[in-house]
Amino acid sequence: MKKFSTIGIFCKEKDDRIKATLTALHEFLSNKGYKVVALKNSAKYIDINPIKKKEFAEVIDLAIIVGGDGTLLRAGRLLADKDVPVIGINLGRLGFLVDVSPDLIAEQLTPMLAGESTIETRSLLNAEAFRGEESLGSSMAFNDVVLHARDDVRMIQFDTHIDDVYVNTQRADGMVVATPTGSTAYALSSGGPILHPSLAAVVLVPICPHTLSNRPIVVSNTSQITITMGESRNVGARVSFDGQANIRLQSGDKVVIRQQEHTLQLLHPKDYDYFNILRNKLGWSVRPS
């Protein structure tokens, strides 16, 4: 692993615990001789001059995220195409991705910054929406691309093609197309399987399908997935990227989803155990009291 010199701090927007954690983190990194940079919302807590968002990923060789999985998703979308590795300090709830304790910053980060860490590569998706030949916009997604009804509690109708081969037409509340990382998020709550992060796969999970035989499908991450809004059921819909960006859709629009060229590197403590994370976060193996 390369040695780090400039470390960027990225934090969640509002949390009473942010200031204490950021102060401890900044003090620890400064005492270790690292140059620390931060965006405006982080810099105000540690009294340094902020750096502009467009410059953030250009000048750092490591990012430390303070927050929950949602904070890491936002950072991942910003950093993925710059090949900047990420460490997460957990101030969220579940924390599947952020696993450094705010109470053990020095104990856990010292060996990690010295190269004693578990390195994990996570894949991303890229999706683009079209109206005819016109592009409506595109975005990356770390967790998932979700097609869903926009304003009404109504089912939408859509066709799914994989590598230009017709799969089915279904009526449902929507569809979640998730990476292995996203398989423990919205896809899981919609009845999808958990995909190990090492899998080169994508899962398609219908949301409340009207046909009970509609089941999740796992395909290769090299596949191109095309979802087209049905002409016969013109219900307002949108496509969402990690729940953080949206594009409005109408009848006949299509969304094309592919594997993102770049990946995101997550750094974990040396004793990182994915299945232990699942046991703890999902309450597996808990005996009744």
Residues with catalytic function = 69
> Which among 12, 22, 7 has a CA at the least distance from the CA of 102?
22
- Which residues have C-beta within 8 Å of that of residue 243, sequence separation ≥ 6? 70, 143, 146, 186
Q: Edge-to-edge strands of the sheet including 165-172?
A: 134-141, 125-131, 254-259, 225-229, 156-162, 165-172
CB-based contacts of 226: which residues, under 8 Å, 6+ apart?
160, 161, 162, 164, 254, 255, 256, 257
Which of 72, 65, 1, 76 is CA-nearest to residue 260? Answer: 76
Q: Is 63 left (phi over 0), alpha (psi -120 to 50) or beta?
A: beta
Burial class (CB in 10 A: 0-12, 13-18, 19+), 3: exposed
